[in-house]
Structure 1
Amino acid sequence: MINKLVIVGAGHAAGQAIASLKQQRFAGQIILVGKEPHLPYQRPPLSKKFLSDEISIDRLYLKPSKFYDDPQIKKYLDTNVTAIDRNKKKLQTNDGKEIYYDKLILATGSRIRRIDISGSNLNGVHYLRNIADVIKIKSEIDSKKNVVIIGAGYIGLEVAAIIRQLGHNVTVLEKADRVMSRVVSPQISDFFEIEHVKHGVDLRLSTNIIAFNGKDTIDNIEISSGEKIPADIVIVGVGIKPNIELAADTGLKVNNGIIVNNRCQTNDSDIYAIGDCTLHPSETYNRNIRLESVHNALEQAKIAVSNICGIKKIYSQVPWFWSDQYNLKLQIAGLSEGYDRTIIKGNISDRSFACLYFKDGQLIATDAINSATEFVISKSLIKSKKILDLDKLEDKKVNLKDFFN
C-alpha cells in the first residue's frame, strides 16, 4: 500500500497529478512541495492576459484553494527540496524538514535561461517566468516609454504584442535571422514578422547584444551594429532549462531532462517524473524528446498517476502547442525537425491557413494560423503515420480532411 505520495513542484503537472489522484480515489496522503508561495497555477496567461490585466491573479489558479483544503493533502509552499535520499526514501528541504515518501513524483519544471552580458544585472532588466516576475514588470511598465524585448520566440513575441497594444514603443532584438526560428518554417516566420512590424514593433533580426548600459538602471542597449537602442525597461525571453539537478544528484538518469519510460517512471521504480523536466520516448517520432508544453505536462501527470494507482497506461501523445499574438492564434501539432517538404493549405492573405511539414511522405507537423480544423485533423494524421499523396495535396481544391478517414 502507498501511504505517502510526495510531489515535488507545484506547476501545471503537479496540479493535474493531485486532481488525477483524487479522481482515482487514491487513499494515501498526498504531500505537495513547491518553491513558489502559490498553489498550482497556469503559466501561459502570464505573458498574455495576466500581463495585460485582462484577468486577475485568482483566475490563474488551476483549482480554488478549497480544493486543496483536504486532510489528505499536506502543502509545503515556498519550500525547496535540496536532496533526495533514495535508500531512506527521504527528502531534505531548505528549511530543515525531512519528508518521507513511498512514491515520489518529480514535477520540477524548468527555469529561465539568463544572459551573461555586461550590465545585465541593472535595474529594469526583467525575466518573465512566474507570477512575481509579471507583478514586478506591471509595477514598472506604466511609466516607461521604450520597452526592449530580448528574444523573438513564443514568449518574446507574445509579450511584444501585449505591450504594443498597451501603447508602448517596442523593440525586439533577436540574434537569429527570423522569428521563432526553432519551431516554425520560414513562411510562418515571415508572416509573423510582417504582422509585428505592421503593429509598430521595431524588429531587429540577426542582432547581437554587446552591452546593457546605464548607471544603476537600464538606459540603453548597445547592439552589434554599434547602435544604442533606448531602453526604459527590458524583458528577456531567451528560453528555459529543465530543472534536473535534484534528480541527477540522487543518481537518476538525466540527459537534458530526467529520463523516463513511457509510463513516466525513472530508473528508480518508486520515482516518477512529469512535465517540462522530462525526457521521454516518443511513439510518434521513435526517439526521446523533451517538451515545453502544458498539454504534455497534463497528460504525463495522468499517465504517472494511473500507473502509481495500478492502472497500466503508456504515454503516446502527439505534441502540440499554441501561441496568441494580436488576433492570431498559432496552433502547432507535432515537431517539424527534419522535414523535407512543406505545403501551404489556405490563403495567407485571408489570415487563416496552415503550413504542413512532411518527411518521406508522412505528415510530421502542422502550423495552423486561425485554422482549427487543419490543426485537429493534423494531430490524427501525424499519429497515423500515413504516407500521403503530396502532389495531390498540393492541389488547392483538395483539403487535408480528404486524407482523413
Structure 2
Amino acid sequence: MHESRVVVVGAGHAAAQLVVGLRQQGWQGEIVLVGDEAHLPYQRPPLSKGYLSGNMTAEQLLIRQAAAYEKAGVTLRLGVRAERIDRAQQRVILSTGEVLGYSGLALTLGARARKLPVPGGELRGVCLLRSLADLEQIKACTDNRAPGHAVMVGGGYIGLETAASLRHLGWSVTLLEAMPRLLQRVTCAEVSDFYHRVHKEEGVDVRCGKGVVRILGESDVTGVQCDDDNVLPADLVIVGIGVDPNVELAVAADLEVGHGIRVNAHAQTSDPKIVAAGDCTEFFSPTHGRFLHIESVPHAMAQANCAAATLCGKPSEYHAQPWFWSDQFDLKLQMVGLSQGHDQVVVRGDIRYGRSFSVFYLAGSRLLAADCVNRPKDFMLCKKLVAASVEVPVAVLADDSQDLGLWAQPSHDKSI
C-alpha cells in the first residue's frame, strides 16, 4: 500500500468532482486519476443534444481544463485500464503493468450502453450513444453526407433527445420503442402521450410496440427489420436501450454488488477503504425503503462529495434527492423525485395541446415526484416540496392560478 495516496478509477462526472472534493476536504496526499478513455473527464448529457446537433465542441464538453487538475495536484493516467484490485495489499494493477498502492481507493466506473443483441448489430453505421467515441462514429455518418434516414432504437430520454437532434440536422427519423408507449419505465401515460405528440409534430415517425429482429446490410447498414416483418431503410441506426453499471472490477475484488456496487450512506463499499460513486453504484434509501440505482449527473456529483469526505476522515451521510433533466426541441423537462409507488397523477397546465405544464405524482396525499416541462419555477418549488414530503391538496396542484410557493414555506398559512 501507499501511506498517503488516493487512487480514483474511472474518469467521468463523479471522478472529476471527487478529486476536487478531496482537496476541498483537506486531503494533502497524492491523488491519481485512472481513466480508460484518452480524454479528460467530460460531460455526457450534451452528447445527444448540443454536441450531436453541432452547437458544442469537444473542448466545451470538458468538465474542467487540464490546468485545473494540475493546480489540484492530480496525476492523470488516461487511456489506461485498471485490470485488478488487490485488496489485501491495497494496490491497483493497471493495463500498463504499473502497480499503484493506495491508502484509499475510489471506484467511479460509470456504466456502459447496452448493445442490440440481433444479427447485423456490428455493421458500420450501427452506433451506440454513451461515449465521445460513440459520438465521433455517429458524426462521421452525419457530418460528411447529406441528411438521410436514421432509425433510433429506444424510446427513453436518450432516444428522444437523439431523435430531436437528428431532426435539427435535417435527417428523417423513425423511432422504434418495443414497449407500448414512450418512457414507459419512468413516467406516466400522460407524459408519454405528450412526447409522442410533440415528436410527431416535429416530423419523427414514432412507432411503439415495435422490436428489432435484424439489421440489414453487408458492410454498411441499409435497413432495419422489425418484429412485424416491416423493413425500414436506414443510413444510420442508433441504439439507446439503456445502460449497465460497470461492476466487473468490483466483482473480481469480491466487493458486495447488486445492480451496482453497493455502498452505505458514507459511500463506502463492503471494504471500508474503498468508496464508490456515480452510475456504478447502488445504495439503500430509507425514504424509499429499497436499494436505488440512480443515473444522473447531480447524483454522481453529490455522492462523489460524500465519498471524498469519507476518504478524508470526515464522513457525512448522503441523502439522495434525485433530479434529472432532458432537452428536446424547444422543451426543457426537469424532474425531481422518484414516481414509483404513486397512486395518483395530477396535471397542471395544458398537456394535451400546449408545451408547458407540470405533472405531480402522489402517494395518498404525499408528493413523491414531479415532471415540469418549460416550467422552471414549478420545478424549483417542487424540489422543496418533494424533499419535505409536503401534502398539497389536489385542487391546489391542478389549479394554475394557485401559488405553489405558499406550500413550500412551512410557516405559511396554507388554508384554502
User: Normalising by structure 1, what TM-score?
Assistant: 0.97
Contact 2:396 2:404 in 1 (8 A): no
* Counterpart in the other structure of 1:229: 232
CA distance in 1, matches of 2:11, 2:374: 32
* Counterpart in the other structure of 1:368: 372
CA distance in 1, matches of 2:98, 2:59: 29
Which amino acid counterpart does residue 30 of structure 1 have in structure 2? I
Q: Indicate whether 1:321 and 2:313 are aligned.
A: no
Contact 1:283 1:316 in 2 (8 A): no
Contact 2:222 2:233 in 1 (8 A): yes
Matches within 5 A, 1:217-256: 217-256=220-259
Aligned-pair CA distance for 1:70: 4.6
CA distance in 2, matches of 1:133, 1:374: 35
* Counterpart in the other structure of 1:47: 48
Deviation by residue 1:236-289 (Cα, 9 ceiling, x = unmatched): 100000001111111110001111011101111100000001111224323220
Which amino acid counterpart does residue 221 of structure 1 have in structure 2? V
CA distance in 1, matches of 2:288, 2:408: 20
* Counterpart in the other structure of 1:129: 130
* Counterpart in the other structure of 2:282: 279
CA distance in 1, matches of 2:302, 2:3: 22
Structure 1 runs (4+) greater than 6 angstroms displaced = none
Deviation by residue 1:177-232 (Cα, 9 ceiling, x = unmatched): 11111111111111111111011111111001121111111111111222110001
Aligned-pair CA distance for 1:360: 2.1
Deviation by residue 1:61-114 (Cα, 9 ceiling, x = unmatched): 111111122583211111111111100001112221111100000000000111
Aligned-pair CA distance for 1:311: 2.1
CA distance in 2, matches of 1:54, 1:362: 40
CA distance in 2, matches of 1:183, 1:116: 23
Which amino acid counterpart does residue 67 of structure 2 have in structure 1? K
CA distance in 2, matches of 1:66, 1:46: 23
Q: Indicate whether 1:96 and 2:97 are aligned.
A: yes
* Counterpart in the other structure of 1:176: 179
Aligned-pair CA distance for 1:396: 4.9
Higher mean C-alpha deviation, range 27-36 or range 223-232: 223-232
Contact 1:284 1:383 in 2 (8 A): no
Q: Indicate whether 1:34 and 2:38 are aligned.
A: no
Which amino acid counterpart does residue 85 of structure 1 have in structure 2? D
CA distance in 2, matches of 1:124, 1:215: 11
* Counterpart in the other structure of 2:393: 389
CA distance in 2, matches of 1:323, 1:231: 26
Which amino acid counterpart does residue 85 of structure 2 have in structure 1? I
CA distance in 2, matches of 1:151, 1:224: 14
Identity %: 39
What 5-or-longer segments of structure 2 have no aligned partner? 410-416
* Counterpart in the other structure of 1:355: 359
* Counterpart in the other structure of 2:340: 337
CA distance in 1, matches of 2:72, 2:215: 51
Count residues with an aligned counterpart.
405
CA distance in 2, matches of 1:393, 1:51: 37
With over 3 angstroms needed to count, the CA separation of the structure-2 counterparts of 1:394 and 1:45, relative to structure 1, is closer
CA distance in 2, matches of 1:399, 1:345: 12
Contact 1:219 1:232 in 2 (8 A): yes
Matches within 5 A, 1:268-307: 268-307=271-310
Aligned-pair CA distance for 1:173: 0.8
* Counterpart in the other structure of 1:61: 62
Q: Give the secondary structure class of the aligned counterpart of 1:276.
A: coil
Higher mean C-alpha deviation, range 14-23 or range 381-390: 381-390
Which amino acid counterpart does residue 50 of structure 2 have in structure 1? K
CA distance in 2, matches of 1:266, 1:168: 45
CA distance in 2, matches of 1:177, 1:191: 14
Which amino acid counterpart does residue 370 of structure 2 have in structure 1? T
CA distance in 1, matches of 2:115, 2:239: 8
Deviation by residue 1:316-370 (Cα, 9 ceiling, x = unmatched): 1310000000010011101111110011112334422100000121111100000
* Counterpart in the other structure of 1:193: 196
What 5-or-longer segments of structure 1 have no aligned partner? none
With over 3 angstroms needed to count, the CA separation of the structure-2 counterparts of 1:53 and 1:298, relative to structure 1, is same
CA distance in 2, matches of 1:226, 1:251: 45
Q: Give the secondary structure class of the aligned counterpart of 1:179.
A: coil
Aligned-pair CA distance for 1:397: 3.8
Contact 1:293 1:321 in 2 (8 A): yes
CA distance in 1, matches of 2:22, 2:51: 29
RMSD of equivalent CA atoms: 1.5
* Counterpart in the other structure of 1:312: 315
Q: Give the secondary structure class of the aligned counterpart of 1:345.
A: strand
Higher mean C-alpha deviation, range 156-165 or range 389-398: 389-398
User: Normalising by structure 2, what TM-score?
Assistant: 0.94
Which amino acid counterpart does residue 245 of structure 1 have in structure 2? E
Aligned-pair CA distance for 1:387: 3.2
Which amino acid counterpart does residue 288 of structure 1 have in structure 2? F
Aligned-pair CA distance for 1:8: 0.3
* Counterpart in the other structure of 1:261: 264
* Counterpart in the other structure of 1:13: 14
Contact 2:5 2:102 in 1 (8 A): yes
Deviation by residue 1:106-130 (Cα, 9 ceiling, x = unmatched): 0000001111101111111011111
